[in-house]
Amino acid sequence: MTAFPVPTMPAPPVGVVGLGQLGGSLAAALLAAGRPVAGWDVDPAARDAATARGVQITTELSGIVVLAVPLPAMATALDELTVDPAATVTDLGSVKRPVLHALGDALGGRFVGGHPMCGTERSGHDAVDPGLFSGARWALCLEPDTELPRWLRVAEVALDVGAEVVPVTAAEHDDAVAAISHVPHLLAAALAATAGQAGPLALALSAGSFRDGTRVIRSDPAFVTAMVEGNAGATAGALARVQEQLARPWPDLVADGHAVVTRQEGRRTVRVPLDRAALLALGRAGGAVTRRLAAFVEGWVPAQS
């Protein structure tokens, strides 16, 4: 199969709204990749830090506008800014259905929801790391009305900073992250709160399994609460499934959990046409896009090794 080169249209400019850990890291990573970045943050300290890294601070944004603000601020993040009516708008929020509802209704096919699966328990512009996205999966929403050329342009932003793009719908994303991110935050909180009630001896004896099992609840509680409440239905469902697991005989539960995390999987390289159904099928198979070519994308799917 011949690899057609991507047409040499210039990459659109990128404007990042919110220059904390995620937005600031994205701006730094894009600058490192040679793409100019404009941006804005309501916090003057974050603007100064971004300016020092080479971000052009402005309230006039065009091209691809990335909303990297907390979930509760998403709906109003553009209110004070001047955005080119032709711009593609994307976001980095950890829940996708509410953001799609808040922005997709107004922006229609110009909105492409996204969620890079990275970040740490730290936050703010002090936690900026241009390597944050390297090797990370970046969920990117393909709704029925998403304009595919815009989706591909946002995917190129993710690929440019070293991420792999997972095509999903907002609903698929929210159901998946309930199980692998939102419930882990609640389990960590419950574990920490229980140990806190058990008293000083228990905390004094706590070691690796407690430290690992509670790390994510070191995150800003407002961030965690907005995340789990913003995905309440799917999170409650996944939590109920975890509790069903906890009711099983422990030897069976331990064996099954161990098997999931120690499973060895290989990868098979695939080419996927620029077609919504084919791209979503790649995501559902557990695969990701690693490269954009002219008439297709290249990626991989898991394969029994």
Q: Pick out residues in 94-133 that bind a copy of itself (CB under 8 A).
A: 117-120
Across the chain, the runs of DSSP E, i.e. the strands, are: 14-17, 37-40, 56-57, 60-61, 64-67, 82-83, 88-91, 111-112, 114-116, 137-141, 164-168, 265-273, 288-292, 296-304
Which residues in the 55-74 window bind a copy of itself by CB under 8 A? none
| Three-state DSSP state, 158 | helix
Q: How far is the CB of 32 from a copy of itself (least distance, A)?
A: 21
Instruction: Please work out the total of residues on this chain that contact a copy of itself, with binding judged by CB under 8 A.
Output: 84
Interacting stretch for a copy of itself, rule CB under 8 A, among 20-28, 36-44, 80-88, 278-286? Answer: 278-286
User: Between 148 and 236, whose beta carbon lies closer to a copy of itself?
Assistant: 236
Please state whether 153 falls in left (phi above 0), alpha (psi between -120 and 50) or beta.
Answer: alpha
Q: Which is nearer to a copy of itself, 107 or 301 (CB)?
A: 301
86/247 with CB nearer a copy of itself: 247
Closest Cα to residue 116, out of 81, 71, 76, 161? 161
Residue in 93, 157, 175, 270 binding a copy of itself, rule: CB under 8 A: 175
Q: Which of 107, 128, 186, 297 binds a copy of itself (CB under 8 A)?
A: 186
Does 83 help bind a copy of itself (rule: CB under 8 A)? Answer: no
- The answer to the question of residue 185 lying near a copy of itself (CB under 8 A) is yes
Q: Tell which one of 47, 122, 276, 284 touches a copy of itself (CB under 8 A).
A: 284
Residue type, 176: A
Residue 68 near residue 94 (C-beta atoms within 8 A): no
Distance in Å, CB of 105 to a copy of itself, minimum: 25
- Pairing between strand 296-304 and 288-292? antiparallel
Q: What is residue 59's three-state secondary structure?
A: coil
Q: Minimum distance from CB of 303 to a copy of itself (Å)?
A: 11
Q: Which of residues 198-257 bind a copy of itself (CB under 8 A)?
A: 198-210, 212-219, 221, 224-225, 228-229, 238-239, 241-243, 245-246, 250-251, 253-257
* Ramachandran assignment for 291, one of left (phi > 0), alpha (psi -120 to 50 degrees), beta (any other): beta
Residue 285 binds to a copy of itself (criterion: CB under 8 A): yes
Nearer to a copy of itself, 87 or 186 (CB): 186
Least separation in angstroms between residue 251's CB and a copy of itself is 5
Per CB under 8 A, 75 contacts a copy of itself: no
Interface with a copy of itself, residue 45, by CB under 8 A: no
Applying CB under 8 A, among 24, 63, 98, 283 the residue interacting with a copy of itself is 283
Q: CA 216 to CA 184: how far, in whole Å?
A: 8
Residue 164 β-bridge partners: 137
The angle subtended at Cα 219 by Cα 172 and Cα 16, nearest 5°, is: 65
Residue of 177, 270, 279, 297 that binds a copy of itself (CB under 8 A): 177
Tokens of 55: 């971000």
Q: Which residues are registered as beta bridge partners of 14?
A: 37, 64
- 139 forms bridges with which residues in the sheet? 115, 166
